[in-house]
Amino acid sequence: MIQPRFITFEGIDGSGKSTQARRLADYLRAQGADVILTREPGGSPGAEEIRQLLLTGDTDRWSAETEILLFTAARRDHLEKTILPALADDKTVVSDRFADSTRVYQGATRGDLRAKVDALHSLMIGREPDLTFIIDMDPATALQRGLARKSGEDRFEDFGLPFQETLRHGFLALAHADPARCVLIDGNRTMDQIASDVAAHL
């Protein structure tokens, strides 16, 4: 089996995917792999600047359409400056979110914008991860956890519980639509149980 080298974690806000991305990076490093752990929006200096614009302020600061453009701009910079150079150097890339987040958060929450998301993705990104872990979790528990962090980057948590429930269904639909790439992980367990489940898939 070929070892996947571009691995992403996806899920609703507060699903624990950042912790799992970090734990997988640590696990792979312990196996001797050269790993970079990165995130979206962000992962390069320019994309981190765009992150601030997207995650702070009122829920109506940007329309879903404008968000598609900003997230894709950030992703393009992340890809050019961080992901592609690392892969070319034979490193393993573990990213906390990638294009699936745009498919769900922008493509399937405030109207059906999926065709626009897909068009821009094929025009400007054109790259999929080798493997994606989708951490599935109860939205009410996840939202509580996300808001308790008081990170100051709560713009999407502020859309409320029905929004998180819509997101959950969007991620489940993605997992079912692309089973060759996406692995659905039950996030309603301890961090250790989830981490060993993730590692077992590799």
**E strands in the chain:** 6-11, 35-39, 92-96, 131-136, 182-186
List C-alpha distances in Å: 42 to 21, 75, 78, 179.
15, 8, 7, 27
CA distance 101 to 110: 14
Pairs from 175-183 (Cβ < 8 Å, separation ≥ 24): 175/134, 175/136, 178/132, 181/128, 181/129, 181/130, 181/131, 181/132, 182/100, 182/132, 182/133, 182/134, 183/131, 183/132, 183/133, 183/134
Nearer to ligand TMP, 28 or 108 (CB): 108
Rounded to a whole number of angstroms, the minimum distance from the CB of residue 190 to ligand TMP is 20
Nearer to ligand TMP, 33 or 153 (CB): 153
Rounded to a whole number of angstroms, the minimum distance from the CB of residue 1 to ligand TMP is 28
Rounded to a whole number of angstroms, the minimum distance from the CB of residue 11 to ligand TMP is 8
Nearer to ligand TMP, 44 or 106 (CB): 106
Q: Which residues bind ligand TMP (CB under 6 A)?
A: 13, 40-41, 55, 71, 97, 101-102, 105-106, 156
Nearer to ligand TMP, 131 or 170 (CB): 170
Rounded to a whole number of angstroms, the minimum distance from the CB of residue 2 to ligand TMP is 26
Nearer to ligand TMP, 33 or 114 (CB): 114
